[in-house]
Amino acid sequence: MEIIKVLLEASKRVYDNVKHMPGTKESGGDFGRGAGGDISRRIDIVAEKTILDYLKEINFDCVVLGEECGKVELSKNPKGFIIMDAVDGSTNAVRGLPFFCCSLAFATNNRLSSVTDGVVIDLSRGDRYYATKGKGAFLNGKRISVNNDKNPIYFVVGLDISGISPKVLGRLSPIIASSNHIRHFGANALEFGMFSKGLIDVFIDLRDKIRVTDIAAGLLIALEAGGLVVDKNGKPLDSDLGYDNKLSFIAASNKKALDDIMDKLNHI
Amino acid sequence: MEIIKVLLEASKRVYDNVKHMPGTKESGGDFGRGAGGDISRRIDIVAEKTILDYLKEINFDCVVLGEECGKVELSKNPKGFIIMDAVDGSTNAVRGLPFFCCSLAFATNNRLSSVTDGVVIDLSRGDRYYATKGKGAFLNGKRISVNNDKNPIYFVVGLDISGISPKVLGRLSPIIASSNHIRHFGANALEFGMFSKGLIDVFIDLRDKIRVTDIAAGLLIALEAGGLVVDKNGKPLDSDLGYDNKLSFIAASNKKALDDIMDKLNHI
């Protein structure tokens, strides 16, 4: 089976298994901190188990890197890594805010740049954003691309500032002061999907808090949709797949928008 | 007819008339700046006309205060004011981000504190949040109230910082640094609805940019749902209904959360 089909089927099973949970008491609880460091909620546990069970069922030879479960070796001869955040936006899910997703990626080696397939499924609507390297990005079977409008008056800027330090917030302030439409919906992987569909023009997270499990799928989808994604020094975003990596990124729909953001960041 | 029923019917007609538009070219365009100062898009114009046509059809004796159309006297002997932002979150609507609403309120006099009825309809889902003074807040017929959980670890903080000055951003930085779940969906009236339903614990906008048309309905719904809504000095939010008023607010689901926010704001 093609790898993208494995990821799509796994994401569909997560959707089916958790869709009754959001906003209910059943979704929450506190199951201690997962491998990624966040508090695990019941919906996270159910979603991860769904994926692990499926990969075992089809004897998929891989090593799983999970937000909650950590590293799970499903084979002695793995083809590669499955990188999963089974529920990104768990707080939204538990509260019933309709914005959370499941992020699944496959990498051949121990680096983000070796991700070949990625799926982000919107768990409140069932929409699936996905990409295979070199083959473009899709939403429910339809090709998608980043917005090519270059008029900054209407730019929508996604910005994650939750828990950000005053110093980094200060660095962002010229961008914030000049943006009329700042958004944060609370599930970064899904916001990468929306960026890839052209709904958001720029997406920035400079908190040094993003893990590879959060971004592996969204990054590939964004790049395949024609987006530019760099680290805080302006270099193409990459890292190994270690849990300790805490990343920052700037995604922009075109070079002009990216240059404008980098200029504003560097003029403090 | 009860006033709340007039507002509910008007909001339903807006939903019916614009629901095909979001994310389409038809929704956008630039129709100059409306009375409130924002650029009017086609979806704004269609939505306002729907409300004005309905109020004329039922001979509703009132003065309308509209975000785009300004002050329209529909009667020589008005019973009061209809305060409308026919589409709040126009940018989201035009882009296809599923988060925008219609806000309609009725006030007996020229002050926010005289608002007796308010409706906010989620124009992407059709959900209606509404309240009549002294009778509680409702979502689609079901009583709603703010969240009474007081555990700040899980607090979701709504925060509008679009175009905010570096100085005010600095004042907010202790709140931002200590909040793990900051959100902004881009339609303040609807965010008041979500706050009233208990999905958001604190909602802050200190930009001095909010108009009475943005907030009239949401404020009543939030208060009727048990929320606290104050201005930046901690006084109950009020103003006359003039277009030139540019308001700031802090909404909190309980006194402890409000005190915590005010403390953080005042310790710079």
Count how many pairs of residues, chain A against chain B, have C-beta atoms within 8 Å.
Answer: 101
CB contact under 8 A, B156 and A199: no
Pairing type for strands B81-88 and B63-66 reads parallel
* Reported confidence tier of residue A256, pLDDT bands at 50, 70, 90: very high
| Chain A: closest CA distance from residue B140 (Å) | 16
Q: What CATH number belongs to B152-266?
A: 3.40.190.80
- Sign of the CA dihedral with B137 first, then B140, B142, and B145 last: negative
Q: List the single best residue of A38, A97, A202, A203 to mutate versus B (max B Cβ within 10 A).
A: A97
pLDDT of A153 above 80: no
- Residue ranges of the domains in chain B? 3-143, 152-266
- CATH superfamily label, B3-143: Fructose-1,6-Bisphosphatase, subunit A, domain 1 (3.30.540.10)
Q: Give A3-140's CATH code, choosing from 3.30.540.10, 3.40.50.11060, 1.10.3720.10, 3.40.50.620.
A: 3.30.540.10
CB contact under 8 A, B97 and A165: no
**H-run or E-run covering B88:** strand B81-88
Sort out which chain A residues have CB atoms less than 8 A from B167's CB and list them. none
CB contact under 8 A, A180 and B162: yes
pLDDT of A107 above 70: yes
- pLDDT at residue B238, as a whole number: 97
CB contact under 8 A, A177 and B185: no
Percentage above 70 pLDDT, chain A: 100
Return the percent helix, strand and coil in chain A, to nearest 5: 35, 25, 40
- pLDDT at residue B268, as a whole number: 56
CB contact under 8 A, B169 and A186: no
State ipTM: 0.92
CB contact under 8 A, B183 and A97: yes
- pLDDT at residue A138, as a whole number: 98
Residue A16, classified by CB atoms within 10 Å of its CB into exposed (0-12), middle (13-18) or buried (19+), is: exposed
pLDDT of A177 above 60: yes
Pairing type for strands A247-252 and B70-73 reads unpaired
Kindly state the average pLDDT of the residues B113-128.
97
Q: List the single best residue of A27, A172, A184 to mutate versus B (max B Cβ within 10 A).
A: A184
* Reported confidence tier of residue B65, pLDDT bands at 50, 70, 90: very high
Among chain B residues, CA nearest to A147 = B95
Kindly state the average pLDDT of the residues B253-259.
94
Kindly state the average pLDDT of the residues B203-213.
97
pLDDT of B148 above 90: no
**Radius of gyration of chain A measured on its C-alpha atoms:** 18
How confident is the prediction for chain A on average, in pLDDT?
94
Higher pLDDT, A23 or B156: B156
pLDDT of B55 above 90: yes
- pLDDT at residue B152, as a whole number: 72
pLDDT of B133 above 80: yes
Kindly state the average pLDDT of the residues A53-57.
97
- E-only strand ranges, chain A: 63-66, 70-73, 81-88, 101-107, 115-122, 128-132, 137-139, 142-144, 157-159, 182-183, 202-210, 228-230, 247-252
* Reported confidence tier of residue A29, pLDDT bands at 50, 70, 90: confident
Highest-scoring range by mean pLDDT, B29-38, B40-49, B167-176 = B167-176
Closest to A192 (Cα-Cα) out of A225, A152, A166, A165: A225
- pLDDT at residue B220, as a whole number: 98
Kindly state the average pLDDT of the residues B145-169.
91
Closest to B168 (Cα-Cα) out of A190, A119, A17, A173: A173
Sort out which chain B residues have CB atoms less than 8 A from A186's CB and list them. 156, 181, 183
Find the range with the poorest average confidence among A117-121, A161-165, B69-73, B85-89: B69-73
How confident is the prediction for chain B on average, in pLDDT?
94
pLDDT of B36 above 80: no
The residue written with tokens 């009375």 in the block is: B35
Q: List the single best residue of B142, B182, B207 to mutate versus A (max A Cβ within 10 A).
A: B182
- pLDDT at residue B83, as a whole number: 97
| Chain B: closest CA distance from residue A267 (Å) | 14
| Chain A: closest CA distance from residue B78 (Å) | 36
- pLDDT at residue A268, as a whole number: 56
- pLDDT at residue B251, as a whole number: 98
Among chain B residues, CA nearest to A199 = B95
Kindly state the average pLDDT of the residues B167-183.
95
- pLDDT at residue B136, as a whole number: 98
CB contact under 8 A, A166 and B170: yes
What does pTM read for this prediction?
0.94
Percentage above 70 pLDDT, chain B: 100
- pLDDT at residue A243, as a whole number: 82
Among chain A residues, CA nearest to B24 = A199
Cα→Cα distances A233→A230, A238, A264, Å: 7, 12, 13
**Quick check: helix, strand or coil at residue B185?**
coil
* Reported confidence tier of residue B30, pLDDT bands at 50, 70, 90: confident
